[in-house]
Amino acid sequence: MGFGKDMKGRASHEAMLRVQDSEIRLLDTIHHFVVARAENDKKYATGLSRMLAATFKSDNSEFKECCSVFKAWDVIVKETDNLTRTLRSNSEHLTNNTAEVLSQLIAEKKAARKKYLEERERLDSDFAKVQDEMVRNKMDYAKTVARVAQDKAKFLELQSKGKIGPKVDEAKTKFFQTAVRLHKLHNDYVTSVHQAKEHQTMLRDTALPAMLDCHQDGQEALVHKTKYVLEDYLRHTDSCAEDFQSVTRNIGDAVQSIHPGSEYSMTFIDVHKSSMAPAAEFSFEEKLLDDYKGSLKPGVLEMNDLTYEALQAKLAKVKEEMEELNTRITRTSSDQQKASLEVNNLSAVVEESPTLDNINNYLEKTRESESYTQDLLEMEGHMNRLEKLATLLKQPLDDLGSDPVPLASDLKDIMSGTDGSESSSVSGLPPISPTSGTSQQRDHHFMKSLSKMNPFKKALKSSGSQSGGLNSSASGTFDDDNHSSISNENGTQLDEEGGGLVAVRSKTSRSSYEKSELHPTTSNGPGSRMSMMKMREQGQLVDMDSNEAKSRIADEGWFHGVLPREEVQRLLSNDGDYLVRESKSKKTNESQFVLSVFWNGHRHFIIQFSMERGWHFEGAAYPTIQELVRRQFDSGLPVTMKSGAILKRPILREWELLNDDIELKMKIGTGNFGEVYKGVYKKSMEVAVKTCKDTLTEDQKLKFLQEGRILKQYKHPNIVRYIGIAAQKQPVMIVMEFIPKGALLSFLKLSGPSQTIRQLTKMCVDAASGMEYLEGRNCIHRDLAARNCLVGENNVIKISDFGMSREEQEYHVSTGMKQIPVKWTAPEALNYGQ
């Protein structure tokens, strides 16, 4: 029982992601708990010290030696003093050691999850590429088979009429070109079907199980470290009082019940195990050759003068890949054996002495070993696939041996001179020997012989220059004429409204916190400090701090990136609502972080940073913004005494996406506020992405974001679906579903004449249905043009471009009618501007 055997299915994949997310959340909870416990123990020890100080003032030494009550009391005081020192020592250990190890463990857990997801997606992506290649070859093959039949029929028809002249020659030439292409595509299709089948086998039987088993080993190694942390917590919180003995026993039993080797092998796998979907069937589609008359056979490689050299070249390339892969396998196998031996030795050491150093060494070597094992199994799977492909390619070459390469039989009949004008035929050429001369010499010989037949001169020239593939591309377009956005906040506006504190941070006060005295660097020598101060004077460390702090808080739900001040204030409505965002100072153009709070109105506090202290407001400073905000929230104290603002409820991102999850692929349009791209969200979902130029004015940027704010409220089959806004960094982006057929205007220009009255009417109904939905929600679109309606699957119309929309029952134009789309506006709206 293990990941590689029982967890290959999609349901198991989702369950593994969920359990890792839950484990990370659990470790975060444990970390908060340990820190709180240490602080409370320290407070308890401080209280005991105060009581002992008062007790020591009472001198009972006179009767201590003769009275048992006084002697007992003396023992109680001394033991209480010992207890106080123990409590202090344990609390310091929990803060400085246990909590720090927990932080490392959380980071390692996140890295392991990320690595697993990347590996899984890589394997799925590689398989998808093989499948896509097979589908492309199949489509090209089907088109070419049909074209061969058409060209052949046309030629034979002209020939049967006894015609002689350019038309017959042209038909013969065209047929010859198509037949040559068919033979080449035939082998490509056969090979791609074979590769898809073998790649799937390799993925299911080797690569995916290897990756899953290696991931399980890594997770179990992290469980070792988790167990150590909990044991360490137990050792430093154990109490001998009777009231706490049952608690201690329960904690001890719970910790000792952890068995890293079987952490996932029991209940978790039993509940979530699943099998992969049934293996897909990859086979040559024989019906493609139903109308074909010739030598090509379904699923069998064709060996003739048209395919011989291509087969040789492909076999040579496969052999070269096998040699290179075999060298890598040998080297990796040796490394894996060494690493596996070290893991076995360290495993025994960990069982006997589970210290932090031993566990860290074991964890490091386990990762190294699992990486070698996964690489080795995956390479062996690829080697097996290449060996089978080489066998497939080698068979027809071996069968030929030293015999001359045969001519394509289905071309002999056509080129046998039946038109009466050219009696010399291809069949009259001397056969090509697989060993006679170089490939260039054989090509020259063949071309020279064929060139004697005039109808084929043109065919030979054109076929030699043609590319072997059929390429086509299509994309929808978006007209983004009326779309608005919002930009970064400017630092001069970041003061407390209502007479609050104006927070200003000087440029020289910022430096890399990692290089401060709180976190000394590993660099040595008298020049280290001076170099760092010089960098700070030159302003080189300012951006380093901003980027580092931003990367640390990017995953926090209450961090809203570069979302502008006006948009932020829409999210904060109740006293105590708060979030953190990134802004820029108008004066220095530096990035800075701002805490926005609603407290008797909207208030904005620049989070201060200094090299000597760290991140802070008026009170204590902390090494990270997360810890500063968390402590401010937990303490219940005002951010500043003057404002009295208290943090009560974090406002989390709902529709905000991470910019790094969005990959821009291809530009498909241009609007008033930026470019429109076709992109991919989280490596799988095709999306349309509207970007906002950073050079726009604040009003224009606010208008850009207004579309996303309006669109996220609506869910209707005839309204383009809103996915979210990405404002973690520049450029700010609005992400929507990708509509493949583009704008209705372009669609009607190209395909309108071929649409029936019923189909065109259905498009009108779709647009009307979407507008009825908007009207019911008090949305005035104001720009319903054909260019702003998109054509989706089955020609369903979806309304888009809400850049001019208004959220109200009635709107009066007050700035003139210049931007009103006259052709698409109702007459009464034009007459009255209403």
pLDDT tens-digit map of 349-401: 888 888 888 888 888 888 888 888 888 898 999 999 899 999 998 888 888 88
Given this model, what pLDDT does residue 818 score? 60
* Average pLDDT value for residue range 427-455: 43
Phi/psi at 622 (5° precision):
-135, 155
Residue 372: CB partners within 8 Å, gap ≥ 6? 332, 335, 336, 339, 340
Q: Which of 412, 546, 552 is nearest to 491 (CA)?
A: 546
Rounded Cα–Cα distance for residues 486 and 730 (Å): 11
* Average pLDDT value for residue range 115-130: 92
- The dihedral through the CA atoms of 785, 791, 797, 800 has a sign that is negative
Q: Is position 673 annotated in a ligand binding site?
A: yes
Rounded Cα–Cα distance for residues 758 and 517 (Å): 76
Q: Is position 668 annotated in a ligand binding site?
A: yes
Q: Is position 471 annotated in a ligand binding site?
A: no
Rounded Cα–Cα distance for residues 371 and 253 (Å): 34
Number of Cβ within 10 Å of residue 314's Cβ equals 19
Phi/psi at 115 (5° precision):
-65, -45
Given this model, what pLDDT does residue 442 score? 47
| Residue 781 in this model has a pLDDT that exceeds 70 | yes
**Residues β-bridged to residue 748:** none
Residue with tokens 């190890």: 101
Residue 133: CB partners within 8 Å, gap ≥ 6? 192, 195, 196
Q: Is position 675 annotated in a ligand binding site?
A: yes
CATH 1.20.1270.60 domain locations along the chain: 3-400
> Within 13 Å of residue 160, how many CA atoms lie on the same side as its CB?
6
Given this model, what pLDDT does residue 30 score? 93
**Residues β-bridged to residue 667:** 677
Asked if residue 432 lies in contact with residue 442, where contact means CB atoms within 8 angstroms, the answer is yes
Rounded Cα–Cα distance for residues 782 and 819 (Å): 10
Q: Is position 644 annotated in a ligand binding site?
A: no
The region of weakest confidence among 91-95, 286-290, 541-545, 743-747 is 541-545
Read off the DSSP letter of residue 621: -
Residue 453: CB partners within 8 Å, gap ≥ 6? 415, 422, 424, 425, 426
Rounded Cα–Cα distance for residues 744 and 477 (Å): 10
Given this model, what pLDDT does residue 452 score? 39
Most confident stretch, 342-351, 375-384, 509-518, 542-551: 375-384
Rounded Cα–Cα distance for residues 608 and 618 (Å): 9
Give the tokens for residue 303: 């060996």
Instruction: Give the total residue count for the chain.
Output: 834
Asked if residue 766 lies in contact with residue 796, where contact means CB atoms within 8 angstroms, the answer is yes
Read off the DSSP letter of residue 274: B
**Alpha helix (H) residue ranges in 57-98:** 68-93
Q: Which of 397, 400, 434, 382 is nearest to 315 (CA)?
A: 397
DSSP per residue, 326-340 = HHHHHHHHHHHHHHH
Q: Which amino acid belongs to residue 193?
A: V
Active site residue 783: yes
Given this model, what pLDDT does residue 509 score? 35
Residue 408's pLDDT band, with cuts at 50, 70 and 90, is confident
Q: Which of 407, 408, 415 is nearest to 152 (CA)?
A: 415
Residue 499: CB partners within 8 Å, gap ≥ 6? none
Number of Cβ within 10 Å of residue 669's Cβ equals 19
Which stretches of 752-805 are assigned E, i.e. beta strand?
779-780, 789-791, 797-799
Q: Which of 745, 727, 735 is nearest to 677 (CA)?
A: 735
**Alpha helix (H) residue ranges in 650-756:** 698-711, 744-751
DSSP per residue, 758-770 = HHHHHHHHHHHHH
Residue with tokens 């603002």: 645
Rounded Cα–Cα distance for residues 631 and 633 (Å): 5
Rounded Cα–Cα distance for residues 564 and 552 (Å): 20
DSSP per residue, 452-499 = TSGGGHHHHHHHHHS-S-----------BSS-----PEEGGG-B-TTT
CATH 1.10.510.10 domain locations along the chain: 741-834
Give the tokens for residue 245: 């003995």
Q: Which of 551, 555, 560 is nearest to 578 (CA)?
A: 560
Given this model, what pLDDT does residue 460 score? 34
The region of weakest confidence among 138-147, 339-348, 527-536, 719-728 is 527-536
Among the options 140, 305, 783, 801, which is catalytic? 783
Q: Which of 537, 539, 534 is nearest to 588 (CA)?
A: 539
Strand-strand pairing, 806-807 and 662-670: unpaired
Give the tokens for residue 238: 């154990």
Q: Which amino acid belongs to residue 392?
A: L
Which stretches of 608-674 are assigned E, i.e. beta strand?
608-610, 614-616, 649-650, 656-657, 662-670
Q: How far apart are the first and last CA of the chain?
A: 71
* Average pLDDT value for residue range 777-789: 85
Given this model, what pLDDT does residue 540 score? 38
Rounded Cα–Cα distance for residues 365 and 342 (Å): 7
pLDDT digits (tens, 9 = 90+) for 253-294: 766 666 676 666 656 667 677 887 888 888 888 888 887 777
Asked if residue 788 lies in contact with residue 800, where contact means CB atoms within 8 angstroms, the answer is yes
pTM for this prediction:
0.42
Given this model, what pLDDT does residue 713 score? 77
Asked if residue 615 lies in contact with residue 625, where contact means CB atoms within 8 angstroms, the answer is yes
Rounded Cα–Cα distance for residues 33 and 606 (Å): 29
Phi/psi at 476 (5° precision):
-80, 165
Asked if residue 4 lies in contact with residue 209, where contact means CB atoms within 8 angstroms, the answer is yes
Q: Which position has the higher pLDDT, 333 or 802?
A: 333
pLDDT digits (tens, 9 = 90+) for 208-230: 999 998 988 889 889 988 998 89
* Average pLDDT value for residue range 505-526: 32
Number of Cβ within 10 Å of residue 560's Cβ equals 24
Asked if residue 314 lies in contact with residue 391, where contact means CB atoms within 8 angstroms, the answer is no
Q: Which of 27, 203, 218 is nearest to 131 (CA)?
A: 203
Q: Which of 734, 690, 727 is nearest to 579 (CA)?
A: 727
Asked if residue 263 lies in contact with residue 219, where contact means CB atoms within 8 angstroms, the answer is yes
pLDDT digits (tens, 9 = 90+) for 56-70: 777 666 665 555 566
Q: Is position 420 annotated in a ligand binding site?
A: no
| Residue 419 in this model has a pLDDT that exceeds 70 | no
Q: Which amino acid belongs to residue 733?
A: M
Q: Report how many helices (DSSP H) and strands (DSSP E) the chain contains, helices first.
A: 21, 17
Asked if residue 336 lies in contact with residue 372, where contact means CB atoms within 8 angstroms, the answer is yes
Q: Considering only the top CATH level, what class is 741-834?
A: mainly alpha
Given this model, what pLDDT does residue 70 score? 67
Given this model, what pLDDT does residue 445 score? 44
Q: Is position 671 annotated in a ligand binding site?
A: yes
Rounded Cα–Cα distance for residues 537 and 79 (Å): 55
Residue 715: CB partners within 8 Å, gap ≥ 6? 721
**Helix or strand holding residue 806 (H, E):** strand 806-807
CATH H-level, domain 3-400: superfamily = Arfaptin homology (AH) domain/BAR domain (1.20.1270.60)
Phi/psi at 686 (5° precision):
-75, 130
SS3 717: coil
